Structure 1
Amino acid sequence: MRIKHLTVALLGGASLAIAACSGGTPEDGSTGAAELATPGSESLPALLDDADGLQTVAEALKETGISGIFEGKGSYTLLAPEDAAFAALGDSAKELTGGEDHAALAALLKDHLIPGYLTPQDISAAIDASQNGEVSMPTVSGEELTFTRKGEAISVSAPDGSQATFDGEALAGGSSIAIPLTGILKKI
């Protein structure tokens, strides 16, 4: 399994390197800079604080103390459920985000956190390079997430069957990145 993860990372990096070396300009004249999220000087939690539709996850990172990992030297990919995904949970979300015991909320966030800096383009390239059209990656909690493509959209599913789709532009801050998701990767 470790070889599979290494292969995914190497394929993603290699495809970006090849694309960067093409020297060509897209037909529409754009530089493509907006399409690739690059690490920024502002921390990821600070970017999430200012991001529309990601306030719930921004607050959850602070409440649980998980925001501190983004201040270190490691890099992470946060699959960030949008506010609408939390709202769709109704009372369950209120109990999860409004309670005094943050253990369940921290566990949920760890199920959405992947070690390493992976852009949507990296994940897309890994899906394209796979033999079966899917790629699995472990989260910091040890759960295995599976990424697939449905048309142009990238979907991710958790072992319990919950699914979400990438939605909107990735946010890169410090040495980490957040990819907005349409859902929560845990049945609650």
Structure 2
Amino acid sequence: MKIDLKKQIATYAAPRGRFEIVTVPPLRYLAIDGAGDPNTAQAYADALATLYPVAYALKFLSKRELDRDYVVMPLEALWWSDDMAAFTAARDKTRWRWTAMILVPDWIDDARVEVAAQAVRTKGGAPAIDALRVEALDEGLCVQTLHVGPYDAEGPVLEAMHDDFIPEHGLRMTGRHHEIYLGDPRRTAPEKLRTILRQPVERVG
């Protein structure tokens, strides 16, 4: 039976139109770092062209060697900038830095990730394979919501999260802005894209 981790990890669901405070468990990801506008930066395209082949190689390895089949998890990304207004008011994508990621199931160890990555490297066509790594992320306490609509319409939602909800609930931001892309922009109209917007926080005082 194929495992869908989106249904097993509660924080892969979020309410639309309101913010919620959640605790995200420690998770591991295939990850590649980069910088610049994701719409135009070749590095971002290269990252995605590498992450997906390795993620599917891992899926087939898990099914073949461990008899555990699963749904490949959605693309995710951490985003940051020296000035957070670049995400909210200004939306200056040239100043963005990012880590593109896909979740690794917890039963797959780093050695098997390396086997899958090596298989993809041998086949060629994964331009950022040498930049690929496994990153453990322990975000813990977070605020998140489901945004439905174009990515460029996120600004007001993030402003409300950062400037209103978080301080009003005795919290402050800690880690990097995190997005989980539940919709495929190649096949989904912009107004129907579904994205979880997440911000790690800590309690003040």
Alignment TM-score, normalising by the size of structure 2: 0.28
Greater per-residue strand proportion:
2
TM-score (norm: length of structure 1): 0.29
Higher-Rg structure is: 2
